[in-house]
Structure 1
Amino acid sequence: MNSCCSVSRESNEIEKLKNAIEKQKSTFSKNDMVLIQGGEYLMGTNDSEGFPADGEGPVRKVKIDSFYIDKYAVTNEQFMQFVHETNYITEAEQFGWSFVFHLFCSKETLKNNPQRVAAVPWWVAVKGAYWKQPEGPGSAIEDRLNHPVIHISWNDAISFCKWSGKRLPTEAEWEYSARGGLEQKKYPWGDDLIINGKYQCNIWQGEFPIKNTKRDGYIGTCPVDAFHPNGYGLYNVAGNVWEWCEDWFSVDYDKSDLINPSGPKTGTNKSVRGGSYLCHKSYCNRYRVAARSSNTPDSSTGNMGFRCAADVQ
């Protein structure tokens, strides 16, 4: 899926943008962030519903220092401010395309964008799809300003973090805060997906990838403050959008690293956490709090976003 129309990252214009972003690095706002007090927790899972091949286990006791983390995923409105102040160009724009879920594509879009990935044919490589045009040309975000920004690569997320004076959370920090103080529960709120007849997060219901019944109220992304927060005040750490983490992804790195673990030193893919609105138990049961996945740092899709963290200063 390589594209010959990507903009070189070594160009003078891109370097100017990077320099402008770096100048914002020294300060950050704690608005909409939660202070997570350091402590120990049981990371990972040995649950029968887990995926050992993803490196979810074994369960181990991890110690984490205090840190801040966003209550919400970064929104379209926040990313728009970042772009306005820096003229940043996302990698989806540089490459000229991004992946859009097939049900969100018009017949014309499907006709004009025939490229699919054989293993996952529900993803369409749509020319002109990026954060501001989530479904490609003709789509917009005016009615989704409080939704998580999508079509964001790891590199894009890092650039936003530098501009805002923040950083991405490590996987260990992400899971610690997503658990909300609960120990070894399946979800951020407990072990039951449905409580009093209501879904507790934005995931797929119905037959994937053909029909979504929208029993949770949404077919795509939902507002970042939808559903109830977990015990630490974090919203949508299960479902809605996958969230980039700082770590390189590995299923077999040394898990004896138990104090502020940050994953392997090198790799090809970066870790993502939390699942998305496309997750379904029959196919991708990865909206569990211990679940993990990955993607290359320059990849972007219509279900991938991020939230920021920060050190205690």
Structure 2
Amino acid sequence: MKTCCTPPRPAPAPQGTQRPAQGAATGACIAKDAVPIPGGLALVGTAHSIFDADGEGPLRRKKLSEFRMASTTVTNTQFRSFVKATGYQTDAERIGDSLVFQGLLPEGTPPTRAVSAAPWWRVLPGASWRRPTGPDGPAALPDHPVVHISWSDATAFAAWAGGRLPSEAEWEHAARGGLGDVRFPWGDDEPDDAAFQPCNIWQGRFPHQDLGLDGYRGTAPARSFEPNGYGLYNMVGNVWEWTSQPFKVRSLKKSVKAAHEGKTGFKLCKGGSFLCHKSYCFRYRIAARNSSSQDSSTSHIGFRLVFDGVSDIQRPQ
């Protein structure tokens, strides 16, 4: 199994203990934009697994209550409001570095250390949500997904905003957009490097050439491309999304256990990113799964919030 495009932080660091107070205004804004996701029997997984070792199968059903999901991932503008109100410091800022894809490094960036299992990832001092490609790169774009966010950072923001991270079942149910057992939020038609680019993924030869046929090299605005049937944007591609739950694969096979050795405490990510390509990381499918350590941060991991029922939606008077 190829190493996926979300490596763990090379040197794990202790989790932060910051517990910021709730931010009603920003939470209400995100909640107002959230869309209702009907409850019922949700489909989870697939009967046609691509990466068996990731635990993609089998296809199963799980009963869910109605909830609401933010139509986009959390943006840099929203995260900036959180930081301004609380003084919160992300894990990347506290540790002093984060992982940046080599193709995004600004010209003139000093030599960087590679991640051994995936050398296209570079450990870059000073990279954070504020400047996603490092201190010599441009400031984060306001309407793009916030990145370089660890699971601990995402849960801190969620608590402040009055929401939470979705479970895997909630995420998949929402991503299907009411279409049932489909591979992608729009159906089963597969993106390609020619004429069909419904999401922000890689086109070309990974990791050396991104043709950018979908219009982007790197992140796209959080509200871009066509939404799915529930009104959710970029449920696959653009950035990986943290979920609330641990990454677990139930298998007795030695090969599977070996593939995930050392992942105790890792959290589950869904959706793929702008770095995914079928030839390398065919994980921009709804059932696909990935994992990373709680303190890991990269230039392609973000998150979105869910809210429990209508009672959590604070609407302006």
Same fold (TM over 0.5): yes
> SS of the residue aligned with 2:124?
strand
Amino acid at match of 1:310: F
**Runs of at least 5 residues in structure 2 that lack an aligned partner in the other structure:** 1-9, 252-262, 312-317
Residue 106 of structure 2 is aligned to residue 100 of structure 1? no
1:22 is aligned to 21
CA contact (8 A) 2:16 2:152 kept: no
Q: Which residue of 2 aligns with 1:73?
A: 73
- Secondary structure at the aligned position of 1:199 is classed as coil
2:282: which partner in 1? Answer: 285
In 1, are the aligned partners of 2:46 and 2:59 still within 8 Å (CA)?
yes
Equivalent position of 1:62 in the other structure = 62
Corresponding letter in the other structure for 2:172: E
Instruction: Note the C-alpha offset of 1:107.
Output: 4.9
Distance 1:24 1:145 in 2: 19
Structure 2 CA distance, aligned partners of 1:65 and 1:296? 29
The Cα of 1:22 is off from its aligned counterpart by 3.3
Name 1:304's counterpart in structure 2: 301
One-letter code aligned to 1:82: F
Structure 1, residues 247-271: CA drift from partner, whole Å, max 9, x if none? 0110118xxxxxxxxxxxx951000
Judge conservation of contact 2:120–2:207 (CA < 8 Å) in 1.
yes
Q: Could you say which structure has the greater relative contact order, defined with CA pairs below 8 angstroms and 6 or more residues apart?
A: 2
Which residue of structure 2 lines up, in the alignment, with residue 263 of structure 1?
Answer: none
The farther-off stretch of 26-35 and 167-176 is 26-35
Identity, in percent, stands at 47
C-alpha RMSD of the superposition: 2.2
> Are 1:276 and 2:279 an aligned pair?
no
Letter of the 1:284 counterpart = C
Q: Per-residue deviation at 1:140?
A: 2.9
SS of the residue 1:108 aligns to: coil
2:40: which partner in 1? 39
CA contact (8 A) 1:242 1:272 kept: yes
Count of aligned positions: 287
Distance 1:210 1:176, change over 3 A: same
Q: Which amino acid aligns with 1:37?
A: P
Matched, 1:209 2:218: no
Deviation string 1:34-63 (CA, Å, 9 cap, x unpaired) is 111101132111215x21110011111211
1:261-292, CA deviations, whole angstroms, 9 ceiling, x for partnerless residues? xxxxx951000000000000001000001101
Deviation at 1:234, TM superposition (A): 0.3
1:168 aligns with 2:165: yes
The alpha carbon displacement at 1:198 in A equals 3.2
The residue aligned with 1:2 is 11
AA aligned to 2:54 is D
Q: Secondary structure at the match of 1:156?
A: helix
Using the alignment, how far apart are the partners of 1:2 and 1:185 within structure 2? Answer: 38
Look up the SS of the partner of 1:230 in the other structure.
coil
